[in-house]
Amino acid sequence: MIAGQVISGSFDSVVVRQKSDAKLEIGQLLTANTAEGKILMQVFNLVYGSQLSQQNLEMISGMKLESDNDLELMDAELRNYTLAFLKPLLIVRENSVSPCKTLPEFFSNVNELAMEDVKFLEKPDNPLLIGNLRSGSRIVDAEVYLNGADVFSHHVLIAAQTGRGKSNLMSCLIWNALQNDYAGFLILDPHDEYYGRNHNGLKKSEKVAYYSTNPPAGARTLTINLSKIRPSHFSGVTFWSEPQREALYAYYRKYRARWIEAVLAEEDESLKSLFHEATISVIRRRLQQLLNLEIANNEIYAKGIFDAAAGISTVADIADDVEKAMAVIVDTSSLSSQTEILVGSIIASELFSRYQNYKSAGQLRDKPVASIVLEEAPRVLGKDALEQGANVFSRIAREGRKFKTGLIAITQLPSVIPRQILANMGTKIILGIEMAPERKAIIESAAQDLSQDDKAIASLDIGEAIVTSTFSKFAVPVKTPLFDEIAANTKTDYRTEFVGLHS
C-alpha cells in the first residue's frame, strides 16, 4: 500500500510527502522500489507541510476558531499534508540484504511494509527470539532472532527506565535461551523478581536453580563458606588502603583457604610484626562487618550468608549449573549492596576462572556461553566504581568474549558506564529512555547509526524496543513478548513412582 512519495532530502534524511490516507508514525518501516532492489527505510521525524503561507494558515485558523467552525478548504488534502523524514536502512535484493548506499528516485512511491519485504529475517544458529518486528507501533508478523551464543558472549546492555519492561524482556530472553543449550546464566537478582516466588517466573523452567537466604521448597540456601573467599573478591566491593590490601594478601598467602579465620580468630605474631597493629585491627573489624560474622570464645558464628562450616559446595554448584546451560538465580534482595556485589564477585570469579582454564585446555568449544546478568550495572561497571580499581565484572567486560563469558548489564543510567565498556557491549536493547543524556550515551555507542533516532527512542512505549547489535543488519525495532503469556502456556507435570513406601 502506497504511503507517500519521495520529494527531496539527502541520504541521511529522505523527505517523503505522506499520502493523505496513510498515517505514518515515528519508527515506521517503509520500502521504496529501485532497479537494484527494495530500499528499506524508517521514519525518524514528521513535520507539517502546506502549500499555504504561514500567514494564510494563521488567518484560516482564526476564522475557524472565531467565526465559522465548519469552514472547509478546497482540496484540503492537496494543500495541507505531512512530510516524513526517513533514513535508509538496507537494500533488500532477491537473495541478499546489504547496507543501503543509494537514494530512491524522485517521486518514487514509498510503500508500507509487506511480509515479503522481511523474508530476509532468518532464524540463525542458536536462535534467540528477541520479539516481533515492529513498524512504528504496529506489530509485524515476523519474529526477530539473533544468534544467542554470539549475543551473550559479546555482552548485552539493556537500557531502560523503571517500568519499561526490563524484567519482562530479561525473563523472555532467558526463557527462550533455556530452550536450547548454548548458554547458561548467573542472575544476580536484587529485587527477587526473576524466580517468581509468588507470580509467574522462571521457576516454571526445569533448567532453573534458585538460591536465597529464605529459600522456598526446592531452592537452595544462599550460604557461602569462608574458605571460598579470596582477597581479590573484595575489588569493587570496598576500598582497602595499600597496607590493608598487603595484609589481606599476606594472610591469604600464609593460610590459603583458612585466611579469614586466621585474620579473625588467630593471633599471628609473625604477620603482626610485618604490619601495624592498627592495620590488622581494621581489616579484622571490616571483614567481620562485611561478612556479618560474630566471634565468641575464638569461634566464628555466622550471622549472615558467610559461614565457617556450611556452604562448601555452593559456588561450585552454581558454576556447575551454569555450565549445564541452566539459569541460576541468586536472590540478593535481603543483602546489603556490598554483600551482594561480594557474592556476585565470588561466583563470577569462579566462573571466569573456570572458563579461562577451559580455553587453555582446549575445552572451551564444548561449553555453553556463561552469561552474568547484572541489575543496576553501574554499581560495578560505573565510573565511580571503577575509580576504586578494576573488578571481575570490568575484566569480563573487557576480556570475557575470548572466554565465552558475557555480561548482561541492565541499567537506566548508561551514561555513567565508561565509553570503553559501553563499546564492548555488542548488543544493546533499548527500551524507553526519557532522559536525553542517557539516550545520547546509548546513541553514541550503538552498533548501528542511531543519530537520527533520538525521538524514536524517547517515544518507545512499554514493551517496545530497538535492538542494535553487531550481529544484526540494522537497528531492529521490536515488540518484546509478554512473559506472563509464555509462562501461562507452560505446564509442569510429572508423576513419580513411589518405590519403597509402606502403607
Partner 1 sequence: MKFAHFADVHLGSWRDPKLSNASTEAFMKAVGICYQQNVDFIIISGDFFNTALPSIDCLKEVAKKLKEIKDKSIPVYAIAGSHDFSPTGKTMLDVLENAGLLVNVMRGSVVDNKLQLNFTVDEKTGAKITGVIGKKGMLERKYFESLDREKLEAESGFKIFMFHTAVSEFKPKGLEKMDSTPLSEFPKGFDYYAGGHVHEPYKREYGRGLIANAGPLFPNNFRELEKLGCGGFYIVEKKNILNADFQQIMVHGVFSISVDCSHKSAREVEAEIIEGISDKSFDNAIVTIRLEGALESGKPSEINFKSIYDMLYAKSAHFVMKNTAALTSSEFEEIKTVAQSVEETEEAVIKEHLGQFKAALPDDELLLTKSLMNALNTEKAEGETTAIFEGRVKEDASRILRVRM
323 binds partner 1 (CB under 8 A): no
500 binds partner 1 (CB under 8 A): yes
Among 92, 186, 219, 347, binds partner 1 (CB under 8 A): 219
Q: Segment contacting partner 1 (CB under 8 A): 42-50, 412-420, 438-446, 494-502?
A: 494-502
313 binds partner 1 (CB under 8 A): yes
311 binds partner 1 (CB under 8 A): yes
C-alpha dist (Å) from residue 459 to 38, 45, 141, 162, 430: 27, 11, 22, 15, 11
CA distance 429 to 218: 33
Grid coordinates of 102:
543509494
221 binds partner 1 (CB under 8 A): yes
CA distance 119 to 138: 18
Number of residues that bind partner 1 (CB under 8 A): 27
Q: Segment contacting partner 1 (CB under 8 A): 94-102, 314-322, 445-453, 464-472?
A: 314-322
Looking at the Cβ atoms of 48 and 494, the one nearer to partner 1 is 494
220 binds partner 1 (CB under 8 A): yes
Among 7, 52, 73, 309, binds partner 1 (CB under 8 A): 309
Looking at the Cβ atoms of 107 and 494, the one nearer to partner 1 is 494
CA distance 134 to 141: 9
CB of 198 to partner 1, least distance (A): 16
223 binds partner 1 (CB under 8 A): yes
Among 107, 122, 218, 384, binds partner 1 (CB under 8 A): 218
102 binds partner 1 (CB under 8 A): no
CA distance 110 to 38: 10
Phi-psi region of 389 (alpha: psi -120 to 50; beta: other; left: phi over 0): left
Residue whose C-alpha is closest to residue 127's, from 101, 143, 146: 146
Among 62, 99, 216, 389, binds partner 1 (CB under 8 A): 216
362 binds partner 1 (CB under 8 A): no
Query: Residue 32, Cα to own-chain centre: how many angstroms?
Result: 34
Query: Residue 45, Cα to own-chain centre: how many angstroms?
Result: 27
CA distance 461 to 448: 21
Looking at the Cβ atoms of 49 and 215, the one nearer to partner 1 is 215
217 binds partner 1 (CB under 8 A): yes
C-alpha dist (Å) from residue 225 to 75, 268, 298, 313: 80, 22, 18, 8
